A and B are shown apart, each in its own frame.
Chain A
Amino acid sequence: MTTASKRPWLLRNINAKIAAMPMIFTTLVVFVGGTAWTVIYSFTNSKLLPRWQFVGLDQYERLWSNNRWLTSVENLALFGVFSLVLTITLGFLLAVLMDQKIRFEDTFRTIMLYPFALSFIVTGLVWQWILNPQFGIQHIVRSLGWETFTFDPLYNPDIVMFGLLIAGLWQGTGFVMCIMLAGLRGIDEDIWKASRVDGIPRWKTYLFVVIPMMRPVFITVLVITTSGIIKLYDLVIAQTSGGPGTASQVPAMYVYDYMFTAQNLGQGLAASTMMLLSVLIVLIPWAYLEFGGRRNG
């Protein structure tokens, strides 16, 4: 250590720096470079091809007065809030259930994780079918004699986002459950002993002792799930393609359509800058909570 610290900082642990170089270089070029490019060109009036003609905030003004964009943002907010609350609640409850020493636990866990291991494209297709009124749930319930039963979320603009939500929950709950379970297993058995000695009911122990202790786990799940929600794209493409009409449009589709179909690159870039911004809003507090405090301490 003493010899190393006498050297200038650039040469200290030179091997380690060289080893990390390729990784840092690639991430830097692609993410920082690509993001900067996107942000800069969102201030231009590029149409089919990028053009260096600065128009200030024009694209953003147009963006926020575009109904389709507003619908997209609204849809994503609706989907996001429901899927966050439901995946985390269901995931936690399932984890608690699984923590009761059930049989064949490993197999069960794998089955619960299968949906998460499948592509969103397949998930979207399968659920498109299950929710199809002519063949799926509605058809089966009606055939059972309940003639007026109506359940056609993918064809009803008012509830189409809930059709997507069901598929999203199916996909993500098992994943949340597994992480939560790991958190539960990390809780010291002595906590349980102590709470039993004190005669505290189980549910109270979960609510007031275990959940606060699992704060880091909840934060991790929150960040991973939220960043996944903002990216929502493949599932919608496979399940509804944004329809009926524009009822299930999401921001990523808006970006894509303006970049490649509507040939209005500047507009698409402005929309994707907004998405980047919203991810940053989620990430910065997390980074601060996770890393800021520890470094100072």
Chain B
Amino acid sequence: MARSVTSRRKSINTALAWGVGLIIFFPILWTILTSFKTEGDAIAYPPKFFFFDWTLENYAIVQERSNYMRYLWNSVIIAGGSTLLGVVIAVPAAWSMAFVPSKRTKDILMWMLSTKMLPAVGVLYPIYLMFIQLGLLDTRIGLVIVLMLINLPIIVWMLYTYFKEIPGEILEAARMDGATLKEEILYVLTPMAIPGIASTILLNIILAWNEAFWTLNLTAAKAGPLTAFIASYSSPEGLFYAKLSAASTMAIAPILILGWFSQKQLVRGLTFGAVK
């Protein structure tokens, strides 16, 4: 309470902040509203906010035209699979970095995070070639592997920051009591780090869900997730905004809902653990 803020001041600040928030949220809100309009209402002037004939026909048409459920299912498998695989590989690595640090731990972490910043085009072609040779092009398993690889540095980094907060003495105590390494990680560390692991998983699902560069370039009709689905609607031939909005809404709805119910984890995850 060092910085006392008067309640009038507080109201002004709140109003100001929410004004900004509304501007930021408006495009999303507008997209969702438009998805329930007819094509005519979608481009009508003056713009219709809430008083139009609400219709679900856009959703039906989009589903019929491009089989939304299949894309959704691909997205779920790719995002979920790559995340789980990544966590399984990252937990032991993060454990060793947080509790058994060596002189090089900082360097390895740093080097690993920096790979996340390299432009993906730098490794696109070698991976593309590898995919052709292994027959992984346009398969879900291929995308699971690629997305796991590109997000692995983030997963390790996030888990590392969470593990750092757990006192090492507890793990030592478990070791004294004769716990093996596997037991130590599985039964002592993991339960304590559940909130951290949850945030990491959430962040990674969002990252994998939104990934467009790899999914657009390595998939075609069979394994394409929702990003490919949306991209297929972006062609300028048909400016059908209501349908486009319906498609976009269906692609972002899972993220918006997931994010709303896990606000704290979302914020911590998206800021790479910087915000607690």
Residue ranges of A at the interface with B (Cβ–Cβ < 8 Å): 13, 15-20, 22-24, 26-27, 30-31, 33-35, 37-38, 41, 50, 94, 97-98, 100-104, 106-122, 124-130, 134-135, 139-140, 143, 170, 173-175, 178-179, 181-183, 189, 192-193, 217, 220, 223-224, 227, 230-231, 233-234, 237-238, 252, 255-256, 259-260, 265, 268-269, 272-273, 275-276, 279, 282-283, 287, 290-291, 294-295
Contacts and interface: CB of A to CB of B under 8 A. Distances in A.
Contacts of B107: 291
Contacts of B221: none
Contacts of B213: 231, 233-234, 252
Contacts of B110: 287, 290-291
A94 B20 contact: yes
B84 interface: no
Q: Give chain A's interface secondary structure class.
A: helix
A107 to B, nearest CB: 7
A204 to B, nearest CB: 16
Contacts of A97: 13, 16-17, 20
Contact of A34 (B102, B123, B274): B123
B125 A19 contact: no
A19 B60 CA distance: 49
B251 A122 contact: yes
A98 B17 contact: yes
B134 to A, nearest CB: 13
B215 to A, nearest CB: 9
Interface residues of B, number: 90
B126 A272 contact: no
18 contacts: A23-B89, A24-B93, A37-B125, A38-B126, A102-B14, A114-B256, A121-B227, A121-B230, A126-B28, A130-B30, A143-B45, A189-B2, A230-B119, A234-B216, A238-B234, A283-B117, A290-B110, A294-B106
A13 B122 contact: no
A19 B275 contact: no
Given A109-B267, A234-B213, A279-B118, A179 B275 contact: yes
A272 B27 contact: no
Contact of A13 (B10, B102, B152, B230): B102
Interface of B: 2-3, 5, 9-10, 13-14, 16-18, 20-21, 24-25, 27-28, 30-31, 43, 45-47, 89-90, 92-93, 95-97, 99-100, 102, 106-108, 110, 112, 114-127, 129, 149, 152-153, 156, 181, 206, 209-213, 216-217, 226-227, 230-231, 233-234, 241, 244, 248, 251-252, 255-256, 259-260, 263-264, 266-267, 270-272, 274-276
